[in-house]
């Protein structure tokens, strides 16, 4: 039979050696202090313990109540950040939403609610992948056709490239006077490290079924045949972008549109002058335009937004894109091509790459 002895001088024998309890308490205190320093920052820290519903369905939040008896609704749907058909990956943070999936989920909820009479899509995005941009554009077009509810696009800081592509699915495009928009074009990022590998004495052995199977690989220099293949793809994607803009901006002639669609960005007043946007105005102007398009401009409405549980929305300016994760005040936001070495076709305005 095992007997436990107590050393009254050193404290109880826990974990197999004297004083372990004191060591454990000291370690816990140190960890707690470290967490306090990290979390406190420059201001006081408080901890909120709130029960979280197991259901992850979208909740409706009222942002504006124009009158106590307001019944009809205008739904505000946010689209921000880089458009990708995959869940957001952030350093040292939980995996986020898939922007395409979330966008469709919000559109479906607005379509199913008979009290929703119009939708305002608030866009603050430099664009993203070609397919994600096209999927969201297609879903917005289908929403308009199926529901017959008018859609107004409201561009904020940036509504460029894929962000502008999406806006072309709306009935009208409003842009804030300081919005940067345009950037009609396609770009492919294909990093190459073959020269660096040679200097380091590193080689890559590739076995392939065809000459072009590893075209765009970062481990070898791109040749003319590779460039010809990729340029052909880029040209076709660019033609699709121009066709989308031409359908939305019927007042712009084809030759004039070709001159405008050289990849450059425009400030909102320039964009309006060229016919790329319909009106200059704030978000409130876009909401008023949505009411007018729905034939309810003389009625009091509720402006609502959809969010996951705990997604509190105090007013129309409450939702802003999440900032990059910081550790010791250093941003850990990396260029997209560092996350994946594969070539990517993008409707994206990203001059810093």
The rounded Cα 81 to chain-centroid distance in angstroms is: 3
What HEC string does the chain produce? CCCCCCECCCECEECCEECHHHHHHHHHHHHHHHHHHHHHCCCCCCCCCCCCCCCCCCEEEEEEECCCCCCCEEEEEEEECCECCCCCCCCCCCCCCCHHHHHHHHHHHHHHCCCEEEEEEEEEECEEEHHHHHHHHHHHHHHHHHHCCCEEEEEEEEEECHHHHHHCCCCEEEECCCCEEECCCCEEECCCCHHHHHHHCCCCCCCCCCCCCCCCCCCCCCCHHHHHHHHHHHHHHHHHHHHHHHHHCCCCCHHHHHHHCCCCEEEHHHHHHHCCCCEECCHHHHHHHHHHHCCCCCCCCEEEEEECCCCCCCCCCCCCCCCCCEECCEECCCCHHHHCCCCEEEEECCCCC
Q: What is the rounded CA–CA span in Å between residue 323 and residue 328?
A: 15
Assess whether 213 carries a catalytic annotation: yes
Say how many Å lie between the first and final Cα of the chain, rounded: 71
d(CA 134, CA 347): 9
Catalytic option among 161, 183, 217, 248: 161
What is the C-alpha to C-alpha distance for residues 238 and 167, in angstroms, rounded to an integer?
Answer: 17
Catalytic site includes residue 183 = no
Are 211 and 237 in contact by the 8 Å Cβ rule? The answer is: no
Q: Which residues are catalytic?
A: 161, 213
């Amino acid at each position: 039979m095992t007997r436990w002895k107590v050393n009254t001088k050193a404290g109880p024998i826990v974990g197999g050696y004297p004083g372990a309890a004191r060591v454990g308490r000291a370690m816990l205190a140190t960890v707690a202090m470290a967490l306090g320093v990290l979390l406190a920052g420059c201001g006081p820290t408080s901890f909120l313990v709130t029960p979280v519903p197991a259901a992850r369905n979208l909740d409706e939040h009222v942002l504006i109540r124009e009158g106590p008896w307001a019944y009809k609704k205008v739904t505000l749907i946010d689209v921000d950040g880089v458009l990708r058909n995959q869940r957001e990956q952030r350093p040292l943070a939980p995996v986020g939403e898939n922007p395409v999936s979330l966008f469709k989920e919000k559109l479906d909820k607005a379509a199913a609610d008979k009290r929703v009479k119009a939708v305002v899509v608030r866009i603050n995005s430099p664009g993203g992948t070609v397919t994600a941009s096209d999927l969201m554009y297609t879903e917005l077009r289908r929403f308009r056709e199926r529901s017959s509810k008018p859609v107004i696009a409201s561009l904020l800081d940036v509504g460029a490239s894929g962000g502008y592509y999406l806006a072309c699915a709306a009935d009208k495009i409003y842009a804030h006077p300081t919005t940067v928009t345009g950037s009609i074009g396609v770009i492919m990022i294909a990093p190459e490290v073959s020269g660096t590998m040679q200097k380091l004495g590193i080689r890559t052995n590739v076995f392939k079924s065809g000459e072009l199977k590893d075209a765009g690989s970062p481990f070898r220099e791109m040749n003319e045949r590779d460039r010809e293949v990729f340029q052909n793809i880029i040209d076709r994607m660019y033609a699709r972008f121009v066709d989308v803009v031409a359908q939305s901006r019927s007042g712009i002639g084809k030759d004039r549109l070709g001159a405008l669609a050289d990849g450059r960005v425009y400030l909102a007043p320039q964009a309006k002058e060229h016919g790329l946007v319909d009106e200059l105005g704030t978000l409130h102007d876009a909401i008023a335009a949505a009411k007018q398009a729905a034939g309810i401009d003389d009625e009091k409405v509720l402006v609502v937004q959809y969010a996951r549980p705990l997604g509190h929305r105090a007013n129309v300016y409450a939702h802003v894109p999440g900032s990059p994760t910081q550790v010791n005040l250093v941003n850990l936001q990396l260029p997209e091509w560092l996350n994946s070495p594969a070539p990517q076709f993008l409707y994206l305005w990203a001059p810093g790459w």
